[in-house]
Chain A
Amino acid sequence: MIDLVWLVPFFPLVGFLTILIGGRKLGEPKAGHFATTMVLLSFAAAVGIFFDLLSREAADRSEIVTLFSWVPVGDLKIDMAFLVDPLSSTMLLFVTGIGSLIHLYSVGYMHGDPKFSKFFLYLNLFVLSMTLLVLGSNLLVTFLGWEGVGTCSYFLISFWHTKDANASAGKKAFVTNRIGDFGVMLAMFLAFGAVGSIDYAVINESALAGTLTQATATGIAALLFLGAVGKSAQLPLYVWLPDAMAGPTPVSALIHAATMVTAGVFLMVRINPVLGAAADWVPTLIAYTGAITALFAATIALAQNDIKKVLAYSTVSQLGYMFLAVGTGAYVAAIFHMVTHAFFKALLFLGSGSVIHGMHDEQDMRKMGKLFKLMPITASTFIIGWLAIAGVPPFAGFWSKDEILLFALAESPILYVIGIVTAILTAFYMTRQVVMTFFGEQKWGSLANAEEAAHLESAADVGAADADADGNDAAAVADQPAPVETHGAHGEFKPHESPPTMLIPLVVLAGLSMVGGIIQLPSIGIIPKGAQHKLLDWLHPIVEFGEGPEERGIGEAIIKGTWAYDNKMILIAIAVACALIGIAGAFAVYQKKMAKPIEPKLFADGWNYDNMISWFMGNPGRKGFDGVADFDTKVVDGAVNGVATLVRETSNQVRKAQTGYVRQYAGVIGIGVVLLLGWFVVIRGIL
């Protein structure tokens, strides 16, 4: 079965090519069904590979399948080869699995879009690139996929490119990612220069054997981390991800939450022996980057009103957790959180898409509320996702977040405190979102009865931050029963539940978010021994090298014997308490109105980070660019033009010798002959 691994990228490739050629003819919904089938087949192949690997001994679970020699140039030999091991198998399963669910969802979500088939073209191309990224046995194949997913991300963010904002959001993502990609390329060059190969197997082995010098390992790890920062939207390059929400919601779910943005984490885990061989500051940098990003993005999420923006910042924050895990050596926890996050964040995004769909393209949570009764399935699944991300046991997110916090505490209490504060904030903003969307007060303008109108009016009187606009609306509504004109887009309509193709993925993902934690249960008393650390056992050959504390630094960090490890129950209690505090706090503020919501403008503006970049680029940056442009026009162009002017001036002088008088030419020739003769006779002494 492993030899057939090429089937995994092959099916999306077939889908991509078929829709490329005959997409318009297939039309809606056939193109969608076809694309979905292709990804499902790919998922089936991934499952087959998984079971094949599972049936082998742990030591034999890594195999390289070479398709063909790709770049044979002198010493540089790069094969189009796939590395099949537990890590890539895990990634494949959730990429193709969630991918097919989201394809199915998109059939419903993209209904009626004029570019229906093109959407699935891009989605299939994305799955193809993502599987290449995951399967690559060397950095170049991974890079091919890495660029491929970046391109698809760009296409899909600006899918509705007729709107300026969408087009520039796509550009922003592309340009920001380029900074990271440059790091990946440099890392490749460095690896080839130092090891003579860019195969993961060779690089990792030389790191384990100690033949890779610490300086080189540091360089490779730091440069790849730069790539990961770009792709996985960490500080300071996170700016593109919130804007990427301009794309259709299934794209946000698939690319900008579940799969592509986790590529950076995957890459870090893939080269974890190099991280171990690198100087200590690299893992520390990764851990702190992750932790600070997690906290930073969580604070921004507190004050967002766009239903997707909250989730976008939440994604940045959760990715921060994953990097925190990578930096503290908790590679299994990073992958674990990646998988559970893929479940619940895809669920939340798809749920928000369902809400947006039902609310007729309304994304502002201030105009929602009380949707639970009208969208029961969307709401219940969303609530499951909320509990999972907030860290309420026994939902999936609880287990993975808890494991990361455990490793964080074993590494440093500062990281732990940042992590736990972020956990509180996460619970808080997610509760805020659930309350504002599904509970609380009805803010949308269906005015079937006077009671609701009165309710609206009282809501206006209570007067939140946005009292002005809504208050006026509500007052106008109370006077006139049918105020379609004054209400514009959100006039008289009733939010509706979404079609079954959209609900099935929600239900499946909700199920996964509930039970996803079983793949890596912690080793605490009440859990049977056989059920603990399944994921660790599975990933063991990739993340654990050798035994004993002297091996610390290479592979999975060993935290046995630390205070954190011995007091896991206390940590779990703290984590649960924090989740509950966050939930209760948000519930009190937004549902019970016990306190005025504190949503500083600073948070709503994302700490003005975007504005600062604009300012920087507008002022000192602008001057810098102008300086460079001046240098170009004056020095570079000056040199070129100067040479031209010099030639012109010289020839202007020299051409005066061409008088056009034959006599003069004859005279000069005569003089020349005499001089030549003189030279031969007098100087050379001939004759």
Chain B
Amino acid sequence: MQRLNWQLGTVVEIRQETPSVKSLILDVPGWIRHAAGQRVDVRLTAEDGYQTQRSYSIASPPEDTYLMLTVERIEGGEVSPYLTDELRVGDRIELRGPIGGYFVWDANDERNNNSPLFLIAGGSGIVPLMAMIRHRANSAQTVPTKLLYSSSSYEDIIYRDELGRISAKDPSLRVIHTLTRRRPENWTGYGRRIDRAMLAEIAWQPAENQLAFVCGPTALVETVATYLQELGYGPGRIKTERFGPTGG
């Protein structure tokens, strides 16, 4: 393993995921194959030399040719409006990675064969978990998996249709949504913030040696991690990634 250097990636496609979220698909020559859950640092440089950096989770699975980053546009932000409003196909961005060895999941690691997966996401916290779900779909891994995904409204569910397609084809994957602010007329799913009762209804039993990955705003991550511990999940079986109060 060597130190990572800054590389240039070219934008080959831009996809609108929700009204405030876009995915950037990048061609990065010489990209070191990453693991699902890892991240990249993105660095922007202005003409006067001013630089700033942000960290983004990789949305694409390790098997894909191109790298996908999914960015939520934060009003008043410095970097996300540039990435979602200004960047065009053909532009290049500087990135460094893959980074992270803790919040990762490898479908081909035999040690994961007997651990049901419980993925919990809040808002843009879905991004690294989506890399895991896509990677799992590409593999022969059939370990039972549940995704509990909290979004503010139906329109704000990132990767909504793709999640529906993947879970429709795979009975070992169950996707459960909860909508916290607005719900469609005929909504029969959860309609509140994730709480202990919801987790107790959904989570695998601790005896099943489940592995949980929790990602999203700091408050959600810490609350969910606490509840999972109270429900009996041991140390090392709950992995967390905090996005801070506003998301990635």
Does A pair with B? Answer: no
